[in-house]
Amino acid sequence: MRRSRKVKILATLGPASSSEDMIKKLFEAGADAFRINMSHTDHPLMRELVGRIRAVEARLGRPIGILADLQGPKLRVGKFANGKEALEIGQAFTLDDNAEQLGNSERVYLPHPEILASVQPGHRLLIDDGKLELKAVKCDGKSIVCTVVAGNKISDRKGVSLPDTDLPVGALTEKDRADLDAALAAGVDWIALSFIQRPEDLAEARKIARGRALILSKIEKPQAVARLPEIIELSDALMVARGDLGVEMPLEAVPGIQKQITRAARRAGKPVVIATQMLESMISAPVPTRAEVSDVATAVFEGADAVMLSAESAAGEYPVEAVATMNRIAIQIEQDPNYAGIINAQRSEPEATGADAISLASRQIAETLKLSAIISYTSSGTTGLRAARERPQVPIIALSPVVQTARRLSLVWGTHCVVTEDATDLDDMVDRACRIAYEEGFGRPGDRVIITAGVPLGTPGATNMLRIAYVGAEGRGGA
């Protein structure tokens, strides 16, 4: 099943899309990988979803990626005697460590001693996704006396965001550790870490994963944006999580940050996913707004590796239509006359490695000679990533003997992944590449393709060879 676009679609599974039949429909509509939100999924259901995805994968014969999105630390206020309270702008309101008393219009229990110890006068506290803004005026480690800056109500268990405060806690909670172990045991391909603040937050997850899954860092806090280069270096991929990012930073700053993260990830050759509210109105409507179409188009023009659907596919009334709509938008944008010029203008200089030099050369040769495809043999996925970093105009076929590698590359721009045995020699390498290009619809007899690989064959990370070959009759290869 060949896609007619290069950007990938990541669809979230949920109540509206948890059956095997619906997962198959979503894949056929355009979804390349699926997200399981561990905030709303227990371990038995997670295992069932993984099993259903793998069943669809076997039925369709195409590798499908699975991302388990960990909840991360959820910070919430306690409960109120009346369930909710009305507040006035300018009044004092206190968050404290008094667990014995229910909240009122003057105070509420905050069950997070790390917040009480870390917030300083002048720091902002955003309640209920920013609907209520407080500013700390007095802090003693046991309570935070605040002034109400914006908003007029608060209620039980609302979330707390701290855009100005660096909390001395890791990104993994006890729930996250249990979820991570369960997801790894189930064989997911990607783990998404929520609410990371610093590069060190990645260390524990990496130690637990031990290469069994790749780590995707969700950028949704100002502290993470401030240390973006370090976080990119330690991450396998990034997500621009615009929901919480738009709570903790000014809304008008989010589009610029999205571009900053996307371009930084492209320079580093790391996949980047754009997420949150991309087709939000399709939760309850069969068509999106014009603004949403433009939002998806911006991400595609920017060269993002993947665009994500959240509630649209997980709990909406039109999950298949949402995926199909995103698919159509991406195809149309990639055919736009301005697309190639915008993508090319953002291209970075290659790093001083053999793999990057080979990837650059293969793109230039393929575009100069108008070849049908770039075919990359890749065991670890690195060669496929370097080929995608160049954003070539021609398709990339990633051939791997490792099914986990093919699944992981389902989030990577432009890669059409095929699981195949490793070539035995150079002649077999050419024949196998040309035959697969022919069978997958990327080359007809007489077309030329360019093949990249590492010699000796099967050596991970040793891309050092490229070869131009003709697709012969019935897909046989010829130099």
Active site residues: 35, 76, 218, 276
Within 13 A of 414's CA, how many CA atoms are on the CB side?
Answer: 24
Element (H, E) at 443: none
- What length does the chain have? 479
Strand order in the sheet with 143-150: 107-109, 92-96, 143-150, 132-139, 124-127, 160-161
Nearest CA-CA partner of 350 in 342, 340, 338, 358 = 358
Element (H, E) at 253: none
Give the C-alpha separation, 216 to 198, whole Å: 14
Nearest CA-CA partner of 305 in 216, 377, 373, 233 = 216
φ and ψ of 277, to 5 deg: 60, 30
Q: Are 133 and 153 in contact (CB under 8 A)?
A: no
Nearest CA-CA partner of 430 in 471, 381, 372, 402 = 471
Nearest CA-CA partner of 361 in 381, 390, 397, 382 = 390
